[in-house]
Amino acid sequence: MSTTTVTSVPNPSVFGESVTYTATVTGITAGTPPWGDVTFVIAGGPTLGPVTLTQTGVDSGTASVTDSTLAVGSHLVTANFVNSSDPLDNSSGTTIQQVNQSATTTTVTFVPPAPVCGETVTLTASVAAAPPGSGIPTGTVTFIISADGPTVPGTLDGAGNASVTVPALSVGTHQVAAFYSGDANFAASNSPLTPLTVSPASSTTTLTISPASPVCGETVTLCAQVAVVAPGTCTPTGTVTFTVAGGPTLTGTLDATGQACVTTTAIPVGTHAVTATYAGNGDVSGSTDTGSVTVGQGASTTTVTVTPASPVCGEAITICAQVTVSPPSTCTPTGTVTFVITGGPTLTGTLNASGQACVTTSALTAGSYTVTATYGGSTNIASSTGTASITVGQGVSGISASISPSPSVCGEPVTICADVSVGPPSTCVPTGNVTFAVSGGPTLTGTLDATGQACVTTSAIPVGTHSVTITYPGDGDVLGSTTTLPLTVNQAASTTALTITPSTASCGQSVTLCAQVTTTPPGTCAPTGTVTFTIAGGPTLTGTLNASGQACVTTSAIPVGTHAVTATYSGDTGVAGSSASGTVTVNQGVSTTTLSFLPASPVCGQPVTLCAQVTVASPSTCTPTGTVTFTIAGGPTLTGTLNASGQACVTTIAIPVGTHAVTATYAGNTGVAGSSASGSITVGQAASTTALTITPASPVCGQSVTLCAQVTTTSPGTCAPTGTVTFTIAGGPTLTGTLNASGQACVTTSAIPVGTHAVTAMYGGNTGVAGSSASGSVTVGQATTTTTLTSSPNPSTPGQNVTFTATVTAVPPATGTPTGTVTFVISGGPTLTGTLNGAGQATVSTNTLTTGAHTVTATYGGDTCFAGSTSPTITQNVAVLPTGTTVTATPATIRLRFNGTFVIPTLSATLRDASNNPIPGQTLTFVANSVLGPIALGSAVTNASGTATLSNVAVPPTVITASTYTASFAGAPGLSPSSGSASLTFQPTPLLP
């Protein structure tokens, strides 16, 4: 008979602590290990198990479980051992498990951690089980706040936290503690005293100034608005100090809205910094704001009066300015006023107590004036101006005049004088100019001197009788007047002298003809007009006399030869005409010819430009005209016409390769003599380039390859390449292709062996184009093959002859038939070798294959041109006629585990042949037949007894809708498929571990 004892560790425990219960069973008399299960029944707690006994001796074992769910108190724990072989060997044991309250810890936190005056604070207490206890405490927490704070209860939530909100704590440091009262499973605890400091709330001060731009003496209001910065909500109280830099310091008291205002008229003119300082109180911190105020000058207006209203020249005039200050300014104007009289004096007067300044002057001449009175302003008052008009009357004038000499000759200086006097009662002195207008002659102006006299002198009066009108237009003080006198001037004689430079010139050279006309004394008039130059057999030219009496003309149009020249001056109004004569000789110009080529070293077919530059030697400027003949030895003779710059050019591409003498001959014309130049030009072969292309770039053995060479004449050559190109393939054939009209030669070959070969394309050149070459390489790879395999017959029977045929073919673009051998590898059979025939096929046969499935592959070993390949694997089946089979399934149960999952402890089925012999080594598949559809349970291999077994098969909850399961055999060589079903029953109890 067995004996069961039970122990628990730890004992006592605390709430939430894991406790291990161990049952020790001794003296077991029936069955074999592990003998049976133990179930632990805890009063007021769970039932744990059954747990399979673990052997510790020949007749003893232990079983253990762990639990942490017991409530506080004493619990009877009973361990029941059930012997699975003999119920008479069952036994039980008991123990008492004592569970005590778990200790707790309490901590307190604040949000926000640093509140300010008026801000609401949330206090949170976090209560947690102290290890080894676990779980979430419940119940209430009491928050105690020292000094002026309240006592506030809070209830723990599901996370063990309790929070309360405390508004309006006073500024200062408070001690806060949280007291947890405990519950049935958790002991009480409290937090340590935790300091909570409430600081004064921050503030902001905003300064406003009204008006924004005051003037001198105007009332100014300064206001400061003090606001508490969130999250603070306390009210600011106390005073604000307003400090005006360079002005008064004022104090205002905050009203209920947090505003303080002061007024003053004592801020002087200028810009002043203003600071508003709030000192704070116990709950709100101080703050400041700054600004500035600019006090402007008061505006002013100035009015001007003139006495008497209509003065005359020399009369004393009094001018007064009244300065008035404009509201809102109340300051008094002081200082001086400046009186500016346009065209008159500038005067200064000082303001009296009534704001008036006056000045007196007699310095104004006759005319209209504007008086501007400018008040310059003071520190407090801005400047201003005012204007008025003054009109002063003119005096009356008269003129007496004289002319000397009279009469005069042309060009002789004549002096005309005018005396201007002012009649009483005016005392002004006449000033300004007097105009002397000579009819048919000049108009002259003279300036009056201090005695009132003006004189002018002129030699520009033309020949004839003239009247002189003398006019004084007056000035600002004196009215004008006029008088008239007669004047006579006679004509003068002249002489003409001719000069020719150069006297002997070349064709086209510029020749200057000058005539100097001189007035004969006693006349001094300058000759004017034109001189006519007449060249016999040449042009007639006209020149105009300059200020020195000279007229010059220049011409390059005098033809070759000797010519008479006459210069004729026709005279003018004041000077009589005269003439002079001479001769000039013009010779033919000398020319030089220079020859140039472009390009200097041409190549075959390149255009060549031959240019001849004919230049006339200085001093001749005649233009060479006509043609130049270009003679090329062994080449063409060409003619070019000279252009306006004396150049003749011809272009030709017909100069053959070689060196040629060239002569350029200019024949001359009437004005320019002929000349010639010679040189030589060498025409070389044109260079060429050859480009090689190979198609395809990577051919395979037997594939056609096209080699092309493109021969191009190198610019500037234009001759066409002709002839042949030789293609040399290293290790392969040498081929020749002929260039077509586009300069390309191509050859095709399929005779290049496998490997990498250098290829050279060589163009030999022709008379006009030099040879060139290009190189490349071509790599010919082995051709890819495919191998296919067939067998016949398939399936076959043991001892039957089976023929295997492999067909090897080249993969395009390769062509041809592979050669060599094919190796046939048969699993569980012989390895055979066959030789490819002319069709690329190899055939082997064997009758030695045993019963079963044999995998067969055919491998072609390749040859020089073709790469090897392996066929896909085929299966040759050798079998006798299959025998029948049966599957017998064993009923099974569905069980529920403690963790809520489902399991089938055992599934088994037996496979037998038609003679009822067990069949080992075959796979059986198990499927539950659920109403929701088949559920795969797994597969197992039959043992020596033909039985396949699955253990502890985890299954989904839907398996309980199945009442049967099926074990299936899919068949095998010699064995036919079969299946069998058995019942599948759900057994809900007892629960399995």
| Residue-by-residue DSSP string for 105-160 | EEEEEEESSS-BTT--EEEEEEEEEPTT--S---SEEEEEE-TT--EEEEE--TTS
**Which CATH number is 203-295 given?**
2.60.40.2410
Instruction: For residue 906, list its beta bridge partners.
Output: 951
Among candidate residues 785, 788, 786, the one with its CA nearest the CA of residue 843: 788
> Tokens for 631?
């003679």
Q: What is the mean pLDDT of residues 304-310?
A: 89
- HEC secondary structure over 244-311: ECCCCEEEEECCCCCEEEEEECCCCCEEEEEEEEECCCCCECCEEEEEEEEEECECEEEEEEEECCCC
| Percent of the chain whose pLDDT exceeds 90 | 71
pLDDT bucket at 421, cuts 50 / 70 / 90: confident
Task: State the Cα–Cα distance between residues 467 and 436, nearest whole angstrom.
Answer: 10
| Percent of the chain whose pLDDT exceeds 70 | 99
pLDDT of the residue at 612: 94
Question: Over the stretch 5-52, which tens digit does the pLDDT of each residue have?
Answer: 999 999 999 999 999 999 999 999 999 999 999 999 999 999 999 999
Question: Over the stretch 586-622, which tens digit does the pLDDT of each residue have?
Answer: 888 888 999 999 998 999 888 999 999 999 988 888 8
Residue 882 has pLDDT above 70, yes or no: no
**Which CATH number is 688-774 given?**
2.60.40
Q: What CA dihedral angle connects 749, 752, 754 and 757, to 10 degrees?
A: -120
Specify the DSSP class assigned to residue 716: T
Q: Average pLDDT over the chain, rounded to whole?
A: 92
3-class state of residue 552 by DSSP: strand
Specify the DSSP class assigned to residue 960: G
Residue 459 has pLDDT above 70, yes or no: yes
Distance of CA 849 to the CA centre of its chain: 77
On whether the CB atoms of residues 136 and 126 are closer than 8 A, the answer is no
Cα dist. 659→148, 331, 630, 655 in Å?
125, 111, 16, 9
pLDDT of the residue at 723: 93
On whether the CB atoms of residues 296 and 275 are closer than 8 A, the answer is no
Cα dist. 949→646, 925, 930, 956 in Å?
121, 10, 21, 20
pLDDT bucket at 318, cuts 50 / 70 / 90: very high
Question: Over the stretch 924-981, which tens digit does the pLDDT of each residue have?
Answer: 999 999 988 899 999 999 999 999 999 999 999 888 889 999 999 998 877 889 999 9
DSSP for 624-653, please give it.
Answer: P-SEEEEEETTS-EEEEE--TTSEEEEEES
Q: What is the mean pLDDT of residues 100-114?
A: 94
Task: State the Cα–Cα distance between residues 280 and 292, nearest whole angstrom.
Answer: 23
- CATH 2.60.40.10 location in the chain: 3-100, 300-392, 494-538+549-587, 591-683, 785-878, 885-992
885-992: what CATH class? mainly beta
Superfamily of domain 3-100 in CATH is Immunoglobulins (2.60.40.10)
Task: State the Cα–Cα distance between residues 887 and 946, nearest whole angstrom.
Answer: 9
Long-range contacts (CB closer than 8 Å, 24 or more residues apart) made by 146-151: 146/174, 146/175, 146/176, 146/193, 147/172, 147/174, 147/175, 148/174, 149/174, 149/176
Task: State the Cα–Cα distance between residues 73 and 487, nearest whole angstrom.
Answer: 160
pLDDT of the residue at 523: 84
pLDDT bucket at 147, cuts 50 / 70 / 90: low
pLDDT bucket at 878, cuts 50 / 70 / 90: confident
Instruction: For residue 4, list its beta bridge partners.
Output: 25
CATH fold of 591-683 reads: Immunoglobulin-like (2.60.40)
Cα dist. 51→22, 27, 674, 821 in Å?
11, 18, 139, 71
pLDDT bucket at 881, cuts 50 / 70 / 90: low
pLDDT bucket at 535, cuts 50 / 70 / 90: very high
Q: CATH number of the domain at 396-484, out of 2.30.29, 2.60.40, 3.40.50, 1.20.120?
A: 2.60.40
Residue 725 has pLDDT above 80, yes or no: yes
Amino acid, single-letter form, for residue 84: S
pLDDT of the residue at 148: 59
pLDDT of the residue at 796: 86
List all residues 6 or more positions away from 455 whose beta carbon is below 8 Å from its beta carbon.
Answer: 415, 416, 417, 418, 446
On whether the CB atoms of residues 844 and 832 are closer than 8 A, the answer is yes
pLDDT of the residue at 856: 96
Q: Does domain 104-147+156-198 have CATH number 2.60.40?
A: yes
Amino acid, single-letter form, for residue 974: G
On whether the CB atoms of residues 154 and 125 are closer than 8 A, the answer is yes
**Which CATH number is 494-538+549-587 given?**
2.60.40.10
Instruction: For residue 340, list its beta bridge partners.
Output: 346, 372
- Say how many C-beta atoms besides its own lie within 10 A of residue 443's C-beta: 14
Cα dist. 967→282, 937, 941 in Å?
91, 10, 12
Question: Over the stretch 378-405, which tens digit does the pLDDT of each residue have?
Answer: 988 999 999 999 988 777 888 999 999 8
List all residues 6 or more positions away from 111 whose beta carbon is below 8 Å from its beta carbon.
Answer: 121, 122, 124
Q: Which overall architecture, per CATH, does domain 300-392 show?
A: Sandwich (2.60)
Q: What is the mean pLDDT of residues 132-146?
A: 92
Among candidate residues 153, 191, 150, 144, the one with its CA nearest the CA of residue 170: 150
Task: State the Cα–Cα distance between residues 382 and 444, nearest whole angstrom.
Answer: 53
Residue 897 has pLDDT above 90, yes or no: no
Among candidate residues 640, 497, 504, 479, the one with its CA nearest the CA of residue 579: 497
pLDDT of the residue at 466: 92
Residue 81 has pLDDT above 90, yes or no: yes
Among candidate residues 492, 496, 504, the one with its CA nearest the CA of residue 560: 504
On whether the CB atoms of residues 742 and 764 are closer than 8 A, the answer is no
Question: Over the stretch 171-195, which tens digit does the pLDDT of each residue have?
Answer: 888 888 888 999 999 998 888 889 9
pLDDT of the residue at 362: 82
pLDDT bucket at 426, cuts 50 / 70 / 90: low
Q: What is the mean pLDDT of residues 812-832?
A: 92
Q: What is the mean pLDDT of residues 893-897?
A: 90
Residue 542 has pLDDT above 60, yes or no: yes
Task: State the Cα–Cα distance between residues 913 and 925, nearest whole angstrom.
Answer: 17
Residue 59 has pLDDT above 80, yes or no: yes
> Tokens for 568?
């004729």
Question: Over the stretch 564-591, which tens digit does the pLDDT of each residue have?
Answer: 999 999 998 888 899 999 999 988 888 8
**What order do you get walking across the sheet with 647-652 strand by strand?**
591-598, 608-616, 647-652
> Tokens for 728?
């040399």
- Say how many C-beta atoms besides its own lie within 10 A of residue 640's C-beta: 18
Among candidate residues 181, 182, 195, the one with its CA nearest the CA of residue 108: 195
**Which CATH number is 785-878 given?**
2.60.40.10
